[in-house]
């Protein structure tokens, strides 16, 4: 698929001698960007240059150790740059980092063909994993989750995973009362109150964790990792070594990123897990699509959002064409503070949105009272005959969790999410 549109260009000016850990800084940055699903980056070695020291570096000064300028150039969607840039800044040991707006006029990515069977969990896992001990206070666990993009924290004993804490564990056993992603939509005083209640409970990680966490060995082939995730309905897995020690985490998103950029050489043996490039999205989609219209009132929008496990609803016009998407987090973020308690009850317990006298008065004063006021217009779409490979690419380009499936007349007829896509990649699933 050709990608066109507004983008951000990041340039990082380094020296050959700069290092991050045991790796040259440029290679460490490339590896991080690759692992996090960036569209692509290029490292260029300059023939000469000088920096803030004023010293000119050239390759023919044989009596001086070569320390030539190196430039890492990375171009990506604005939302991807926003997500990854804080960590990139931390990784730059010294030098200069710039960012400017650019426009992608043409991008033809390699087609998705097959997932190389040689790749293992070790090859795609994230190594920057935050873990806790069984005695870690529950408040600390939640605060860790608020700073990370993933929603699971392994619990370790002498480096070995003995359990894992997920969103569901925090709500069902920890009494959190709100999923972490919804907690981020609350105002700071509200978040402080939630964390204070956790502190007062005195609960620790071992009180809420799911014991006997499902793990995979670092050498497990990706087809087997995908099967475990699909069969167990898991989004991520701890990765361990021969001694059971935690090495990293592999997520469903990691597998989809690999599938989106994987190209197998034609002369190699067929892999055990091949991406069926001729499989249309329409074969994977579900037709129970929650839909509302632009003028749908707030109460009915809530009902549509909580109608399925996806916690979102599409906004369509009178002909069934997609106009936008409303998520539970956007609902909570955009209602007035006085409506938040009722909104949380509705979203967390899948109950009708409160219509008491006070709620009705607050709703009348709210700025967002209908679907059009709440929706996000950035929606990933695909036709029923769109190939699975292309669908994966579209979802990843904007970090979309769902893909709206349209018929030949652009009417919304189905939906797929990341779990559906991964399920489509597993043979016999």
User: Residue 52 pLDDT more than 60?
Assistant: no
d(CA 42, CA 246): 32
Mean pLDDT value of segment 273-288: 70
Average pLDDT over residues 228-251: 91
pLDDT at position 340 is 66
Segment 331-355 mean pLDDT? 65
Q: Could you tell me the pLDDT band of residue 32, with boundaries at 50, 70 and 90?
A: confident
More confident residue, 111 or 300: 300
pLDDT at 177: 72
Domains of the chain: 5-104 (3.30.70.120), 121-261 (3.10.580.10), 281-425 (3.10.580.10)
Query: Model-level pTM?
Result: 0.62
pLDDT value for 304: 84
- Looking at residue 407, its pLDDT comes to 93
The first and second tokens of residue 89, run together, are 């800044």
Across 116-120, 274-278, 376-380, 423-427, least confident range: 274-278
Tokens of 201: 């409970």
Which of 90, 57, 203, 49 minimizes the C-alpha distance to 136?
203
Nearest Cα to 173, choosing from 146, 207, 142? 207
Per residue in 337-346, is it b (16+ CB within 10 Å) or e — as a string? eebbebbbeb
pLDDT surpassing 50 at residue 175 = yes
Kindly state the tokens that stand for 49. 């240059």
Instruction: List pLDDT tens digits, range 393-412.
Output: 888 877 788 999 999 999 99
What percentage of the chain's residues is helix, strand, coil (to nearest 5)? 35, 25, 40
CB 295, CB 370: distance < 8 Å: yes
Q: Is the pLDDT of residue 350 over 70?
A: no
- In terms of DSSP bridges, do strands 412-417 and 402-406 run parallel, antiparallel, or are they unpaired? antiparallel
What is the band of 117 on the pLDDT scale with cuts at 50, 70, 90? low
Structure tokens at 58: 């050239």
Q: What is the mean pLDDT of residues 376-401?
A: 86
Q: Is the pLDDT of residue 373 over 70?
A: yes
Given a cut of 80, whether residue 342 has pLDDT beyond it is: no
403 phi/psi in degrees, rounded to 5: -130, 125
- Under the phi-then-psi rule, with left for phi > 0, alpha for psi from -120 to 50, and beta for the rest, what region is 183? alpha
Cβ atoms of 179 and 171 within 8 Å: the answer is yes
Least confident of 5-19, 148-162, 347-361: 347-361
Strand order in the sheet with 412-417: 381-383, 402-406, 412-417
Q: What is the mean pLDDT of residues 271-299?
A: 76
Round to the nearest angstrom and report the end-to-end CA distance of the chain.
27
């Amino acid at each position: 698929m050709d990608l066109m549109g507004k983008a951000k260009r990041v340039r990082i000016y380094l020296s050959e001698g700069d290092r991050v850990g045991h790796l040259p800084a440029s290679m460490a940055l490339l590896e991080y960007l690759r692992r996090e699903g960036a569209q692509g980056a290029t490292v260029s070695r300059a023939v000469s240059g000088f920096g803030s020291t004023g010293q000119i570096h050239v390759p023919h000064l044989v009596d001086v150790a070569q320390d030539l300028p190196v430039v890492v150039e990375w171009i990506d969607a604005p939302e991807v740059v926003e997500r990854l840039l804080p960590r990139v800044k931390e990784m730059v040991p010294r030098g200069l980092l710039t960012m400017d707006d650019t426009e992608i006029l043409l991008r033809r990515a390699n087609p998705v063909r097959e997932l190389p069977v040689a790749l293992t969990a070790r090859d795609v896992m994230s190594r920057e994993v935050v873990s806790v001990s069984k005695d870690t206070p529950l408040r600390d666990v939640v605060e860790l989750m608020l700073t990370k993009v993933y929603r699971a924290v392994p619990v370790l004993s002498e480096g070995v995973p003995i359990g894992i804490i997920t969103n569901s564990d925090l709500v069902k056993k920890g009494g959190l009362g709100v999923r972490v992603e919804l907690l981020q939509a609350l105002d700071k005083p509200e978040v402080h109150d939630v964390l204070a209640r956790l502190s007062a409970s005195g609960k620790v990680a071992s009180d809420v964790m799911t014991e006997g966490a499902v793990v995979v060995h670092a050498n497990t082939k990706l087809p087997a990792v995908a099967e475990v995730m699909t069969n167990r309905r898991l989004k991520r897995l701890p990765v361990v070594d021969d001694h059971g020690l935690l090495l990293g985490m592999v997520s469903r998103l990691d597998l989809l990123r690999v599938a989106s950029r994987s190209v197998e050489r034609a002369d190699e043996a067929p892999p055990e897990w091949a991406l069926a490039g001729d499989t249309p999205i329409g074969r994977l989609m579900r037709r129970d699509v929650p839909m509302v219209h632009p003028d749908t009132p707030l109460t009915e929008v809530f009902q549509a959002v909580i109608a399925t496990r996806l916690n979102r609803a599409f906004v369509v016009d009178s002909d069934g064409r997609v106009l936008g998407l409303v998520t539970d987090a956007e609902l909570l973020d955009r209602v007035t503070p006085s409506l938040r308690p009722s909104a949380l009850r509705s979203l967390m317990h899948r109950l009708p949105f409160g219509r008491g006298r006070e709620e009705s008065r607050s709703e009348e004063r709210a700025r967002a009272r209908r679907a059009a006021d709440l929706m996000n217009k950035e929606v990933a779409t695909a036709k029923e005959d769109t190939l699975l490979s292309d669908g994966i690419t579209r979802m990843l380009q904007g970090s979309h969790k769902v893909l709206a499936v349209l018929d030949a007349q652009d009417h919304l007829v189905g939906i797929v999410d990341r779990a559906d896509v991964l399920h489509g990649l597993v043979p016999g699933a």
